[in-house]
């Protein structure tokens, strides 16, 4: 059973443009180091390209995380229990979700995503596979607290945040997100979160710069989206994709590098870049057990259990909403 249209919680102007998208792009292109938040990758084309990325040989996180979900169903059932509303943050195509839903017997499923058309199509597909589970899609920016559908208001919640998307954010933003998730899900909630692990540099860089060029197309599609939705004149062919490991921050950075001097407009405002200048489009931080625990604790979540795949490339962590306290 599904609410086909779901709830839309995005702020569009009279032309149907997401005001937050325009504000982030204009602000980001005005900085010394130009940067655009990674969440804006995910228009319909970007969402599909990301699903394609998960299938390329070099991109190990999806295979590793799926292996954990397949092998730990009994542990999930024991520690999570039945009857929770599963709230998936940034659900995308929800391809991993059936493995979790099959293991824990949920009372409802609430996918949250900023890509509305992709969200509703994926929710409908999932509802057809699990007709006994009510599905309530919500189109929203999940980085902020989200008002969940009233139908799940009194149910205990399990947040599901797979894919190590938490690694796309710098630490202060990641902590803010975890605290907003805590506010969205409420007291007594649980969170099952994917966190990619630190490993060999060559493996990491290849995962974000595959030989087939799918990740490059994903990165460049952001410029295409800006041109389409914000009246941009960016010469997309003047940019190339680059992925680099930055050991100081334990992260992969993705950049769009200007191959030549360029001038363009976005939303009527002029911009210029010199050859070699970049637009920083994504971070993907990697963790070890201590750093992931510290991140969760700072975000008001207490780690309960941790699982890795056999090769110890990726981890899934179950955490419990921490009780607020005023003293150590």
Q: Which of 6-10, 13-17, 111-115 holds the top average pLDDT? A: 111-115
Query: What confidence score (pLDDT) does residue 116 get?
Result: 75
Give the whole-angstrom CA distance, residue 317 versus residue 296: 10
pTM for this model (two decimals)? 0.87
Q: Inter-axis angle of helices 61-71 and 97-104, to 10 degrees?
A: 10
Give start-end residues of each CATH 3.40.50.150 domain in the chain: 61-199+287-321
Distances 201 to 198, 207, 247 between C-alpha atoms, Å: 9, 10, 9
- The answer to whether residues 230 and 217 touch, using CB atoms and an 8 Å cutoff, is no
pLDDT-based confidence at residue 23 (cuts at 50, 70, 90): very high
Q: Which two tokens stand for residue 316?
A: 């899934």
Each residue of 128-165: pLDDT tens digit? 999 999 999 998 888 889 999 999 999 999 999 999 99
Helix (H, G, I), strand (E, B) or coil at 160: strand
Q: Work out the number of other CB atoms within 10 angstroms of the CB of residue 15.
A: 7
CA 193 to chain CA mean position, Å = 11
Candidates 3.40.50.300, 1.20.1250.10, 3.40.50.150, 3.30.43.10; CATH matching 61-199+287-321: 3.40.50.150
Give the whole-angstrom CA distance, residue 321 versus residue 178: 10
Query: What confidence score (pLDDT) does residue 327 get?
Result: 59
Query: What confidence score (pLDDT) does residue 87 get?
Result: 96
């Amino acid at each position: 059973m599904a609410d086909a249209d779901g709830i839309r919680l995005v702020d569009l102007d009279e032309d149907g443009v997401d005001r937050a998208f325009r504000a982030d792009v204009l602000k980001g292109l005005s900085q010394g180091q130009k940067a655009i938040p990674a969440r804006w990758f995910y228009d319909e084309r970007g969402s599909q390209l990301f699903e394609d990325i998960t299938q390329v040989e070099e991109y190990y996180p999806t295979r590793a995380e799926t292996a954990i979900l397949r092998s730990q169903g009994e542990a999930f059932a024991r520690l999570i229990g039945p009857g929770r509303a599963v709230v998936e943050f940034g659900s995308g195509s929800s391809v991993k979700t059936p493995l979790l839903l099959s293991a824990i017997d949920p009372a409802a499923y609430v996918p949250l995503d900023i890509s509305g058309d992709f969200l509703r199509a994926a929710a409908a597909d999932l509802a057809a596979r699990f007709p006994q589970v009510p599905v309530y899609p919500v189109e929203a920016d999940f980085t902020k607290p989200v008002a969940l559908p009233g139908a799940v208001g009194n149910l205990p919640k399990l947040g599901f945040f797979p894919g190590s998307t938490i690694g796309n954010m710098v630490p202060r933003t990641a902590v803010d997100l975890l605290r907003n998730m805590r506010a969205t899900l409420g007291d007594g909630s649980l969170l099952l979160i994917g966190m990619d692990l630190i490993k060999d540099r060559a493996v990491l860089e290849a995962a974000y710069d595959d030989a087939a060029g799918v990740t490059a197309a994903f990165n460049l599609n952001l410029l295409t989206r800006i041109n389409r939705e914000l009246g941009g004149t960016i010469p997309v062919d003047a940019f190339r994709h680059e992925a680099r490991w930055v050991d100081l921050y334990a992260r992969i950075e993705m950049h769009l590098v200007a191959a030549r001097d360029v001038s363009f407009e976005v939303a009527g405002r002029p911009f210029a870049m010199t050859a070699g200048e970049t637009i920083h489009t994504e971070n993907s931080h990697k963790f070890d057990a201590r750093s992931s625990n510290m991140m969760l604790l700072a975000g008001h979540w207490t780690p309960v259990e941790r699982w890795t795949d056999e090769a110890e490339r990726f981890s899934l962590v179950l955490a419990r909403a921490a009780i607020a306290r005023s003293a150590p």
